[in-house]
Structures are given as structure tokens and as C-alpha cells.
Amino acid sequence: MTRLDAGSYFGADPALRPAGKGTYVELDAVDMVEFVDGLEFRPVVGERMMLNFVHCAPNTEAPRHAHAEQQVILAIDGEVEFDLDGDGRTMRRGTAVHVPPGVPHGARTLASTCFEVDVFAPPRRVLLEAMRARAGQPAPGD
């Protein structure tokens, strides 16, 4: 292992100004969004990224799809069969996958559950719209 200068990572640019106020979030307090039975999303949204806590029940499928946002998925518990543009793998705790914009992908659980964390940059538009609709807020431009 090569140890690098900690100051290069933990330093602060004196010209940088806070873009907002940080927020602590209790996962159980985050409203759940569900597009498919058994696939529960709990998104935490920042200005340019989204962290989405996902619980998949047994025998649940996230249909093959593609989107404009870049995505990283990290399996935390259980397992899920993941298809990255035809490359199928079983993801278990500690397995991550990067999905570039526009790349087709999908997933399904078999007999077990899966808990994963998805990171989207920028935030996943359709999930933001679902959150706004659930809260009774108009979509931007309405």
C-alpha cells in the first residue's frame, strides 16, 4: 500500500463556499417509492447526486431498462441477479457495478432478498418526479 499525503485529500480550498446546509437523514423516515411490487426505493437527494436505498423482496424483477443518469450499485446484503447489457452476474455483499448512461440493465432476486445502495449522478429524473407526485408538488415547469 502506498500512503499518500493526507492534506491532498482532506485539504480545503479557501475560495470554496458552502452550496447549502447539510442534512442528517434517518432511513426509516424517508418516504418509500415503489414502481414494482417488492422493489422499495428510499431516495436521499442532493443537488447533483442521489443515494437510493433499495430493498428487493424475493422473486422480484427490475425490468431491463436504460436511463440518462450514471449509476453505481453496491450490494449490502442478500443477493441479486444483475444483467449489465447481457453480462449477467450474481451480486452479493460487497459487489458493485457501474452503469454508464444509456447502458441497458436489469435485475431480479430469486429466493432471497437483497438490500443495495444505488448512487445516481445526476439524480434519477423519474424517481424525482415520483417523489414530487407523492408529495403533491407540481413538476418543474408546471
Q: What is the pTM of this model?
A: 0.88
pLDDT of the residue at 134: 82
- The count of C-alpha atoms lying within 13 angstroms of the C-alpha of 78, restricted to the half-sphere facing its C-beta, is 19
Of 16-25, 58-67, 74-83, 97-106, the least confident: 16-25
**With bands split at pLDDT 50, 70 and 90, how would you rate the model's confidence at 136?**
confident
**With bands split at pLDDT 50, 70 and 90, how would you rate the model's confidence at 141?**
low
Of 56-65, 76-85, 94-103, 127-136, the least confident: 127-136
What are the pLDDT digits (tens) for 22-39?
A: 899 999 999 999 999 999
User: What is the distance, to the nearest Å, from the Cα of residue 108 to the centroid of all Cα atoms in its chain?
Assistant: 16
pLDDT at 1 over 90: no
User: What is the distance, to the nearest Å, from the Cα of residue 46 to the centroid of all Cα atoms in its chain?
Assistant: 12
Q: What are φ and ψ of residue 115, in 5° steps?
A: -120, 125
**With bands split at pLDDT 50, 70 and 90, how would you rate the model's confidence at 6?**
confident
- Output 70 or 2, whichever has higher pLDDT: 70
Q: What is the mean pLDDT of residues 117-129?
A: 96
Q: What are φ and ψ of residue 128, in 5° steps?
A: -60, -45
Going through the chain in order, the beta strands assigned E by DSSP cover: 33-36, 39-45, 50-56, 61-65, 70-84, 87-92, 96-99, 105-108, 114-121
Q: What are φ and ψ of residue 101, in 5° steps?
A: -55, 140
